[in-house]
Amino acid sequence: MTDKTAAQELIRIQKAWEAEFPEEDHSAIPMITRLGIFYGYYRSAYENLLKQYGLRTSDYHVLGTLRSYGSKTPLSPSALSKFSLQNKAGMTRALDRLEKAKLIKRHPNATDRRSLDIVLTKRGSNIAEKAYRSDMEFAQQLLAGFPMSDQEQFRDFLDRLIRNITNKVMSRDSRDINQVLNKPGSLAHYIADK
């Protein structure tokens, strides 16, 4: 489907819904539908990008977070989960996969034997760096043709959407997801507090 036909189809869908429910405000359809379409394409392309490194998105978030602190800096599983939208079970699964692939190591914490420290292996650090470079190249391709002022405005719009979904929609619809998104220190919590 070309951009023009996709846009025409979105207009057709909006008009059809307006005809079915004339009393409703349909002004959000063009934006939200486009976000959904973009997300579908983005997720597919992003997953394919990470597959070349043998990673899932959740794996990359763990490796990327560890690498951003320096390849030798240990982090706890709870500290890692603050930067991803994963619950404890999802984080454990990601850590299990990464350890099996010899990309991370788990060590008992030196001061609290009940806690674990997660560190990158040399191989994990190398893969994290390569995946990050590919990620940044991918991001530049997505934003090609957008001047910095447009990018800043778009970022602000997305921050507002994130605040709306975490503060208004999810707080009444999904306690579990809301707890993950709004846990103190998480990226979504930071954006929601702005």
User: Who's near 72: CB < 8 A, 6+ residues apart?
Assistant: 119, 120
Residue 6, CA atoms < 13 Å, CB-side half-sphere: 10
Same domain, 43 and 121: no
**Residues 24-45: pLDDT tens digits?**
988 888 888 888 888 989 999 9
The total number of structural domains that make up the chain: 3
54-65: per-residue pLDDT in tens?
Answer: 999 999 999 999
- Token digits for 32? 């939200």
Last residue of a domain, one of 142, 159, 185: 142
Alpha helices of 2-147 — where are they, by DSSP H? Answer: 3-20, 29-51, 57-68, 77-81, 88-100, 122-142
Nearest in space to 120 (alpha carbons), one of 130, 111, 135: 130
Domain extent, residue 87, equals: 55-142
User: Residue 129 maps to which CATH number?
Assistant: 1.10.10.10
Mean pLDDT to the nearest integer, 153-165: 91
Same domain, residue pair 136 and 171: no
Q: Is the pLDDT of residue 148 over 70?
A: yes
